[in-house]
Amino acid sequence: MGAAYFYHLTRGPVEVTLPMLLGKAMGAGWRVAVRGRDDQRMAWLDEKLWLGPDDGFLPHGRAGQPHEADQPVLLTTGPDIPNGATCLMSVDGADVSPEEVTALDRVCVLFDGNDPDALDVARGQWKALTDAGCSAQYWSEESGRWEKKAEK
């Protein structure tokens, strides 16, 4: 049974935090699906990942493109996980179900702590998942380093 980890971004934007978390997930041997809500935003994230440092390259692709099932990291806006990922990272308020949390090794919810709407969505996701019995942790970078602030 997996767990949902909520990452409250207040210092680093998603394009900085996401590669760090992807590197950790891949280091754990997990295939990852990054789920967003908007195709243009996912294309932007795709470009940011390609432009990262050479020594930190993260092999990835986008859903709907050739070889999507072979990608260690797959960027998608859909509910399916065609690359067989065992870790799901939700950005921009993309939906996550309790069934996914239970079935996967890890679900990460990244949200912009400087955006009141993103905070509201994340709070709703926390409540929905924990009310469904999912294990969850809340992490904040407010102090300048990541600290676990809550667990349920």
Superfamily of domain 9-94+106-151: DNA polymerase III subunit chi (3.40.50.10110)
Q: Is the pLDDT score of 131 beyond 80?
A: yes
Residue-range domain boundaries for the chain: 9-94+106-151
Is 12:143 a contact under the CB 8 Å cutoff?
no
The pLDDT assigned to 37 comes to: 96
Is 9:17 a contact under the CB 8 Å cutoff?
yes
Which of the 8 DSSP states describes residue 55? G
The pLDDT assigned to 57 comes to: 79
CA distances from 130 to 17, 72, 96, 123 (A): 24, 28, 12, 11
Nearest-angstrom CA–CA distance, 135 and 52? 32
Average pLDDT, the chain: 94
pLDDT in tens, 85-102: 999 999 999 999 999 999
**4: its two tokens:** 């949902």
Is 68:82 a contact under the CB 8 Å cutoff?
yes
pLDDT in tens, 54-83: 667 788 999 999 899 999 999 999 999 999
Give the chain's length.
152
Higher pLDDT, 59 or 5: 5
pLDDT in tens, 18-42: 999 999 999 999 999 999 999 999 9
How sure is the predictor about 51, in pLDDT bands with cuts at 50, 70 and 90? confident
Beta partners for residue 151, in sequence order: 137
Please state the pTM of the whole predicted model.
0.94
